[in-house]
Each structure stands twice: as C-alpha cells, then as structure tokens.
Amino acid sequence: MNAYHAPSWLPGSHAQTIYPLLIKGSAPAYRRERWETPDGDFIDLDWVDGPSTAPLVVLFHGLEGSSASHYAISLMHSVKQKEWCGVVVHFRGCSGESNRLPRAYHSGDTEEIDWILRRLRGRFPQRQIHTAGVSLGGNALLKWLGEQGSAAAAVVTAAAAVCAPLDLTACGHHLGHGFNRVYTTRFLHTLKRNVALKLTRFPDCIDEKRMWAASSLYAFDDAVTAPLHGFRDVEDYWLRASAKPLLGSIAVPTLLLNARNDPFMPPAVLPHSHDVSRAVTLELPQEGGHVGFVTGRFPGRLNWLPQRLLHYFSGV
C-alpha cells in the first residue's frame, strides 16, 4: 500500500479493540521533563531526543491520553527513526500524577497551548517546530491556530489535527447514543476516578453527587469540566471551545485529517472546503475510525498515521 493513501479495510468502530495488539515493542526511551506553570501547577513532557538541529514534532494527546497512547508511541518511534526530535506534552493530570490545582484540561484550552508552544519556540529559536493534536488535543490546537491567525507562523512551522471533535455539541451528543456509549462509559470511568482523587484535596471544587451520577459526557462536562474551567455550563463550554468556526482563520500550513467512519463524529460535523482556509489541507478518508488508520493483514499495523504526518511536515 502506498503510505500516503488512506487505509481502507478496518471499520473504525472495531479498530480500538485491537490497538494493544498492533503496538510493536514498548514505548520509546522517553526523557521526562517537568515544567512549572505560571499559575503554580505543573505539566510533564516526554521527549524523544535527536540531533540538535533536527525538526521538533510536538504532540498534544486526546482525552485521558498520554505518551503511552498507541498513536503517541507509533508517532514517536517514527520520529526517532527519521532522526528528528519529538515531545509528547501531557495535559494537566495526564502524566500519571495528579496536578496541584482543582482545574485540569479541556478541549478549548488554547491559553495552555499558547504558553507551551511559545516556550518551546523560545527554547529552540532556529528549529522547525511541527505540532500535531489528536482528538481533544487536535481541537484545542486548531482553535489556537484559528485564534492566532498569521501570528502562529512565528511559533510553529506546520500543524496537523487528527480526528478532532470540531463541533463539541454535535460530537458530545453523538457519543451518548448507540454503540458509542461503550466508549463513553470507558472515558467516564477514568475521568471520575481522577476527579475523586482531586476531591480528597479540594472537597468543594465541584458537586460530588452530580459527578458520580453523570452517565454521559454531557452530564460530566456540566458537573465537572465547565465549572472547573470558568464556563457557565456544558452548553457554554461546548460552544466556546469548538474549533470549527475558526478553521477559516488558520494561516499556518495545517493538515486536517478525519476519517468519515469515525464513530465519535456524526457526518455533519466533518468540514467542507468552504469551512477551512487555503492554508488547510483537508483529508477525509472513508475509513480509519477514531485515530485508527490500521493497515495490512489482521491484526494490522499502526504505521500509516505517523508516516502521513511526517510526510506532510517534511513537505512543508
């Protein structure tokens, strides 16, 4: 298969069940670095080192993801093989240690994205810096790119977003129906566990009863995410954090990659050419699922996505 044609054989709704079988070997030999945030918290970054002048690939993970997520492992292995440098940025509380403050992270946290990318640019003023975001991280990255417009070019060379929930209202409600509730249940289990740990230190930060009662992402975001991050309610959060209205303002070369059979996204959410700027390369393959893009014979390989991203970055 040509590495830059979309994979076609594995339905997205089933791909996630075999991801652990597809990861060849362990995670790269990450070097962990901790940054203190301006508000007294911290984030952890896992680095894959390379030549000092090589391009840097910055990855923002998805909901409850980390440097151990299948897409992070496959991308960072490919970065290493290309003799580039890479870093997986952990959102607050996602690196295996609870963060210090009641707040955590959310789909529209562009202030955090901005601080991280500008700090990296200040540290590596001469390097090419390419940044990718997956799912939640992809939406936050696209929103930042749209807000910054041409100013983003002073910070990053190119960008890519994979399976980003561009319309959080549509995607959030979609995850509450049918087979998608299986994924929602898995997310909620992890999210509630993390919030429970936070409540031992900040018992009044949210309504604990509402949190435990939440059986959908809508209810969870209304009870937890919105109040912790300054939104009026879940509708306010989902509306203000969605990246889709800003896609036309992106000025940095950006690959927007979404599979048409992504089970997390209703077809109406997928953007059209008139929704994006001329700087955006819109790719909507028929298959690939939610950050799947599996190729080859069963159980398949996960190397298509990192190859596609690095090919795009190399071309820029």
Q: Give the span between the Cα atoms of 314 and 192, in whole angstroms.
A: 40
Query: Per-residue DSSP letters for 34-67?
Result: EEE-TTS-EEEEEEE---TTS-EEEEE--TT--T
Write down the number of H helices and E strands in the chain. Answer: 12, 8
**Residue 312: what residue type?**
Y
26 counts as catalytic? no
Q: Which of 74, 78, 135, 242 is catalytic?
A: 135
CA separation for the pair 55, 116 (Å, rounded):
17
Cα 35 to the center of its chain, rounded Å: 19
Q: 61, 77, 130, 290: which is the annotated catalytic residue?
A: 290
Amino acid letter, residue 283:
E
CA distance linking residue 220 with residue 12, whole number of Å: 25
Residue 201: partners with Cβ closer than 8 Å, 6 or more residues away: none
- Identified catalytic residue from 44, 46, 221, 262: 262
Task: Please indicate whether residue 262 is annotated as part of the active site.
Answer: yes
Cβ-based neighbours of 291, under 8 Å, separated by 6 or more: 62, 70, 71, 134, 135, 162, 163, 305
Q: Which residues does 200 contact at the CB level (< 8 Å), separation at least 6? A: none
Q: Is 74 a catalytic residue?
A: no
- The torsion angles phi and psi of 64, rounded to 5 degrees, stand at 60, 25
Pairing of strands 42-48, 31-36: antiparallel
> Where in the sequence numbering do the catalytic residues fall?
135, 262, 290
